[in-house]
Amino acid sequence: MAQRAVWLISHEPRTALCGTVRFSRRYPTVEKRARVFNGASYVSIPEDGPFLKALLFELRLLDNDKDFVESRDSCSRINKTSIYRLPIGGEELWPVVAFLKSGMIYACVPLVEQTLSPRPPLISISGISQGFELLFGIQDFLYSGQKNDTELSTKLSQLPDLLLQACPFGTILDANLQNSLDNIHFASVTQPQKQPAWKAGTYKGKPQVFISITEKVKSMQYDKQDIADTWQVVGTVTCKCDLEGIMPNVTISLSLPTNGSPLQDVLVHPCVTSLDSAILTSSSIDAMDDSAFSGPYKFPFTPPLESFNLCYYTSQVPVPPILGFYQVKEEETQLRITINLKLHESVKNNFEFCEAHIPFYNRGPITHLEYKVSFGQLEVFKEKSFLVWIIGQKFPKSMEINLSGTVTFGAMNHEKQPFDPICIGGTAYLKLHFRILDYTLTGCYADQHSVQVFASGKPKISAHRKLISSDYYIWNSKAPAPVTYG
């Protein structure tokens, strides 16, 4: 239950290395234990340079990393966790816990107290969960109240001293680094209540509860009679509970309006202590009927110190938020395009941003463009054969907008123009990017007044929600539909 090494790496696209190691810490005593436990399968911790290059390659964060690599991108390497194996110097370093958040990559290598050949199941490696807790604690410390790069640099400079107290000799004692900062010379006292093994510390400070609901909507629209359009909503409820005491209890209720779409396929965090069976049994596989459970959805739980995803859900909303029509006709060296977008009347007409990206793959640069747009403005990236229709913050009162025009292309340059094996001939698409704050497509919301907190002090409770587009495609109705996978 220890860590061999910890890294913080800033992701810096369009630079020579695409990243910089901002902080690293190795634990030689843990490394000696790893050499004993792993035996012949032992792989040493590399220097920062080789580790940075290998990790960015594995995470596909290098600028020139566009080609398919069998050892990393094959179907046998589909990664559903944030745990990776890094090829370094002819050997593979495993397990490496790593994730990217707000431009910073957090990474660590947990100690595996047994041989690595054959590889043990992840659930048997206790250091992985502690590694996640340590990285989440560092993330919360760096970005709580951080307003600029100077404050971030100051907090990074404090990490060596804080980890001496929070994670001595690679063993995590307190994932809340703010506690270590406030009590750097504080001698711990015996707690009257037993500390659970999964909670490495306690919070001291102003009590507050933060709740965020994020819904992502995906859509594939073809405008064809023989192919049905598809769309899906996936929601995530994220919480951060700063509450004093060893085992504070919190209950959060999610509610729906009268015409809201019921939540389905609900998955909850292990800290949830109990749940109505109707919540767990509601599945998107079953046909929707009037008897479907529509809330309120109550989640009682004992929160960890770091921010966490309280639950995930899906929902079968009746219509996608934006209905689209896209048609491309090829006329000699030109393409004639016609686009129609219509915002559904039930959707909040107040976007943080809304854009339609229109790529033209496997063609030369745009040499000439004639167009007519009923709303918004069009940006042209000639060398990249790419159009961006900036719709803005609102649709007009008619809720419907149009774009039409002709595009002329020059000779194809394979080094500069984008290539796509799917978008050949008339097969083309546009992709919508939008975000709506204080809105969810299902209508799901967290009532601040219904949040119950059983802890000392009256906490400040804040709740936010937003809708984000994700893989929202509208395909050329004149071309055969590409193969898609759910």
Alpha-carbon distance 10 to 103, whole Å?
Answer: 6
For residue 42, give the nearest of 115, 121, 108 by alpha carbon: 115
- β-partners of residue 249 are 454
**DSSP string over 451-471:** -EEESSS--EEEEEEEEEEEE
User: Which two tokens mark 262?
Assistant: 């019921």
Phi, psi of 50 (to 5 degrees): -60, -35
Q: How much is the pLDDT for 176?
A: 84
User: Which two tokens mark 52?
Assistant: 């940075």
* Peptide bond just before 118 cis, omega within 30 deg: yes
Q: How much is the pLDDT for 158?
A: 86
Is residue 373 within 8 Å of residue 382, measured between CB atoms?
Answer: no
Alpha-carbon distance 270 to 280, whole Å?
Answer: 14
Long-range contacts of 143-146 (CB under 8 A, 24+ apart): 143/102, 144/178
Q: Rounded to 10 degrees, what is the CA torsion of 215, 218, 224, 228?
A: -70
Query: What's the predicted TM-score (pTM) here?
Result: 0.61
Strand order, beta sheet including 104-110? 19-26, 3-11, 104-110, 91-101, 83-88
User: Which two tokens mark 474?
Assistant: 């509208």
Q: How much is the pLDDT for 78?
A: 56
* Peptide bond just before 296 cis, omega within 30 deg: yes
For residue 28, give the nearest of 3, 54, 64 by alpha carbon: 3
Q: Which amino acid is at 90?
A: G
The helix, strand and coil proportions of the chain, stated in percent and rounded to the nearest 5, come to 20, 35, 45
For residue 309, give the nearest of 250, 252, 236 by alpha carbon: 236
Positions of E strands within 222-321: 230-242, 249-255, 264-268, 297-301, 308-315
Positions of E strands within 137-289: 208-221, 230-242, 249-255, 264-268
Each residue's pLDDT expressed in tens, for the chain with a length of 486 residues: 799 999 999 999 888 888 999 999 999 999 999 999 999 999 999 999 999 999 998 888 886 766 666 555 556 565 668 899 999 988 999 999 999 998 999 999 999 999 999 999 988 898 999 999 999 999 999 887 766 788 888 888 888 888 888 898 899 988 888 777 766 544 334 345 666 767 777 888 899 999 999 999 999 999 888 889 999 999 999 999 999 888 889 999 999 998 888 999 999 998 998 888 778 777 776 655 555 778 789 999 999 989 999 999 999 899 999 999 999 998 877 899 999 999 999 999 999 999 999 998 888 889 999 999 999 999 998 878 889 999 999 999 999 999 999 999 888 776 667 788 888 877 899 999 999 999 999 999 998 888 999 888 889 999 999 999 999 999 998 776 555 544
Q: How much is the pLDDT for 183?
A: 61
Alpha-carbon distance 323 to 346, whole Å?
Answer: 12
